Amino acid sequence: MLNSDFDLSAIRKTLYSAVLSDVLDEFGLPNQAMAPFVRPLDESHKLVGFARTGLFMNTYSVREGENPYEVEIALIDDLKPDDVAVLGCAGPTQRIAPWGELLTTASLKRGAVGCVTDGLVRDVRNIRELGFPVFHGGIGPLDSRGRGKMMARDLPIQCGGVNVSSGDLVFGDVDGVVIVPRKIAADVVKAAITKVTSENKTRQELENGLLLADVYAKYGVL
């Protein structure tokens, strides 16, 4: 969901998941960082965009004539620039691998900027070559057909233990994935940028040899 109120390039350049998590703590939201098993395929990538949610469930067969990818295809084809597919699979799971190379290629062509799932991913070599940020709950070769199916899209879900709604701000880096609820995203980003400035001053004074206790008393940042 493209939102002109946000300069995503500035957010990507300035912020990081830890500072957003800290600020969300200050906003009374301590559970916005996904479980630590959700990891990036490429640790050099940052992921910043707006969530588009998909809810998966376990399946154990495919009915005759059924297209088990129907809802998933509809979500991918409806992605917009700066969207992030966020796929909840009740992970970690050994059965559902909702993401691979072909969905990556299709998403890139729609202008999407990444995927987050607590399920499995596959085709990882090709995804890495495409340079598309993907955060995952594991790697495996399994097709989701007959093992899992997206049941609904663009409704509130849980992914990696965090509640996510379409339109929420998604930020991922090597430390993890943080979800910022859309209604407070502007305030959180503003506070995070202010905190980064204080952290930079703290770092500079520590590098100059000041005691940690004195610097903390001055800036209140650790």
DSSP string, 17-49: HHHHHHHHHHTT----BPPTT-EESSTT--EEE
Tell me the torsion sign for CA atoms 114, 115, 116, 122: negative
pLDDT, residue 19, reads: 96
Average pLDDT, the chain: 92
Q: Over 60: is that where the pLDDT of 167 sits?
A: yes
Q: Which domains does the chain have, with CATH numbers?
A: 8-182 (3.50.30.40)
- Round to whole Å and give the CA distance between 160 and 18: 17
pLDDT single digits (tens) 144-156: 999 999 999 999 9
pLDDT, residue 219, reads: 64
- pLDDT class of 213 with cuts at 50, 70, 90: confident
Place of tokens 């995503």: 8
Of 3-12, 54-63, 204-213, highest mean pLDDT: 54-63
Q: Over 70: is that where the pLDDT of 2 sits?
A: no
pLDDT single digits (tens) 47-98: 999 999 999 999 999 999 999 999 999 999 999 999 999 999 998 877 889 9
pLDDT, residue 100, reads: 97
pLDDT, residue 205, reads: 67
